[in-house]
Amino acid sequence: MDEKYIKLNRILDDALDEFTQETDEVFKTSNDRKGYMFKSASEYEKSFQKPQKCLFPECGSKSIVFSHTIQKNGGIHIIAENNHVYRPIFNEKTGKMSIESIGINKASTFPGFCKLHEGVFSVFENKKEIANDNEIKLQVFRTFCREFQTKKIELQYREKRKGEYLNLQKQRFTDVLYKHLDAEGFDKKELKDIKLDRTDYRLAYMKKEIKELQELIQVLKVKYYFPFSKDITKGSENIYYQAIKLAHLIPVGLSGAGYITYEKNNRLNKVQLLMNVIPQEDSTLIILATNKANKKILDRYISFYTQSFLMILVLIESWMIHVTDHWFIKPSVWDTLPEKRREKILSDILDIKFGVLDKYKLSIFDEVRRLMFNVIDNENNWANFNDITISFLKEERNKLIEEETYDIFPTEDILKIKGYLKE
Ligand SMILES: [Zn+2]
């Protein structure tokens, strides 16, 4: 082994030492980090406006960009004001959730189906109501496809982002290495094609995220996409759903998916629940669906939450905060909420400790809630209520009293969870 080789090896070690001792190996300043985050966040938003593969069974043509998930004319239109609704959106600049106005032509769209297959959904697109079994199944399929497509787009994006991070990491290390080579009088060419295999905490997080997404997509494909596709094209009955029509208009359109994980025979099972809240004339259509193999779980879930109108309201508010941010609210309803509560609600969306089985603690729809209490008070049935019901009603009525202050879920926690900041 010659002297030069030994010396180069030492330089490599020194450079690696210096590199790994930096407080942040890859981002020198917090602006570097923010720049990387913002750039990728806007890329993520943009990838939803690019055509993808049509998800109609056995198609695979290029999709159009604006497939609606919730009907434009029936659902969203009913709660729109000046043809606009509000939706929650994560603002990468502030690191917070915010509410933004969106036109009903764009609300709830995703790159889902090609022109031809978008037509399959037009049977109810122009009707005000979703009426029969076939239409409900199409709606469930469409909701599923949005979730599926979103996860696939997210995976592409995460993989690309990991690649960019690796390049950045290599670039930073190369800078340090060249500095050391230079100081020892070596030419940069002495060390070419450097490979760096170093998993820092961000990479560890990215790898974990990618692995989980890949696994989820696989489950969704096998247990939901293929069986559901058969329902649509061959009339099989793999989609199991329950639809409830509520005789109140709850001014929100929502479409998303929640997951329940449970253990059976030492294996973890992930159940997907698909939910829709569709505003209709003076009523609300709620559809909850899953694969028929999970019928029992869905039945138990729904029978618990549909004991009363008020429970259904709680269910919908819980979905909005703990399950999906894919919802659209009537602007004036949001605007009339006290400012502190709006801030609290938005920050709670980021708190991912909660899921499909958790109840949300605050009221979003005060007017609907008040109306329901008017009915309850007029009926004056209190003598027949048991303790559980009475304490539930008390809790619900308290939601209408504004609190002095709220704990705001800190953005730093999110950044830590996402691996942007060290624990
Ligand atoms: Zn197609």
In 3D, which of 115, 107, 101 has the Cα closest to residue 75?
107
**What does the pLDDT read at residue 6?**
87
Tell me which H or E stretch contains 90: strand 84-91
- DSSP notation for 2-42: -HHHHHHHHHHHHHHHHHHHSSSSS-SSHHHHHHHHHHHHH
**What does the pLDDT read at residue 150?**
92
- Distance from the alpha carbon of residue 111 to the mean position of ligand 1, in angstroms: 11
**What does the pLDDT read at residue 305?**
85
Q: How many CA atoms lie within 13 A of 320 on its CB side?
A: 29
**What does the pLDDT read at residue 332?**
97
- Distance from the alpha carbon of residue 149 to the mean position of ligand 1, in angstroms: 14
- Distance from the alpha carbon of residue 391 to the mean position of ligand 1, in angstroms: 52
**What does the pLDDT read at residue 421?**
61
- Distance from the alpha carbon of residue 311 to the mean position of ligand 1, in angstroms: 39
285/253 Cα distance (integer angstroms): 10
- Distance from the alpha carbon of residue 106 to the mean position of ligand 1, in angstroms: 20
**What does the pLDDT read at residue 79?**
95
Contacts of 7 (CB under 8 A, 6+ apart): 184
- Distance from the alpha carbon of residue 240 to the mean position of ligand 1, in angstroms: 24
- Distance from the alpha carbon of residue 53 to the mean position of ligand 1, in angstroms: 8
**What does the pLDDT read at residue 336?**
95
Q: Are 295 and 240 in contact (CB under 8 A)?
A: yes
- Distance from the alpha carbon of residue 370 to the mean position of ligand 1, in angstroms: 46
Which residues have C-beta under 5 Å from ligand 1, the single-atom ion? 54, 56, 59, 61, 114, 117
Buried b (16+ CB within 10 A) or exposed e, 167-198: eebeebbbebbeebbeeeebeeeebeeeeeee
**What does the pLDDT read at residue 417?**
64
**What does the pLDDT read at residue 125?**
63
73/245 Cα distance (integer angstroms): 18
- Distance from the alpha carbon of residue 63 to the mean position of ligand 1, in angstroms: 7
Sign of CA dihedral 213, 108, 100, 318: negative
- Distance from the alpha carbon of residue 60 to the mean position of ligand 1, in angstroms: 6
Q: For each of the chain's 423 residues, which pLDDT tens digit applies?
A: 588 888 888 888 888 888 888 777 787 777 777 777 767 667 777 877 889 999 999 998 999 888 877 776 668 899 999 999 999 998 766 778 999 999 998 888 889 999 999 888 876 666 666 778 888 999 999 999 999 999 999 999 899 989 988 988 888 888 888 989 889 888 887 777 778 888 888 888 889 999 999 999 999 999 999 999 999 999 999 999 999 999 889 999 999 999 998 888 888 888 999 999 999 888 999 999 999 999 999 999 999 888 889 999 999 999 999 999 999 999 999 999 999 999 999 999 988 888 889 999 999 999 999 999 999 999 988 889 999 999 999 999 999 998 878 888 776 766 666 666 665
- Distance from the alpha carbon of residue 116 to the mean position of ligand 1, in angstroms: 6
Sign of CA dihedral 357, 358, 364, 368: positive
- Distance from the alpha carbon of residue 277 to the mean position of ligand 1, in angstroms: 26
- Distance from the alpha carbon of residue 130 to the mean position of ligand 1, in angstroms: 22
- Distance from the alpha carbon of residue 230 to the mean position of ligand 1, in angstroms: 15
- Distance from the alpha carbon of residue 264 to the mean position of ligand 1, in angstroms: 37
In 3D, which of 325, 257, 318 has the Cα closest to residue 287?
257
- Distance from the alpha carbon of residue 62 to the mean position of ligand 1, in angstroms: 7
- Distance from the alpha carbon of residue 121 to the mean position of ligand 1, in angstroms: 12
- Distance from the alpha carbon of residue 406 to the mean position of ligand 1, in angstroms: 48
The amino acid at 117: H
- Distance from the alpha carbon of residue 397 to the mean position of ligand 1, in angstroms: 49
- Distance from the alpha carbon of residue 65 to the mean position of ligand 1, in angstroms: 12
- Distance from the alpha carbon of residue 74 to the mean position of ligand 1, in angstroms: 24
- Distance from the alpha carbon of residue 115 to the mean position of ligand 1, in angstroms: 7
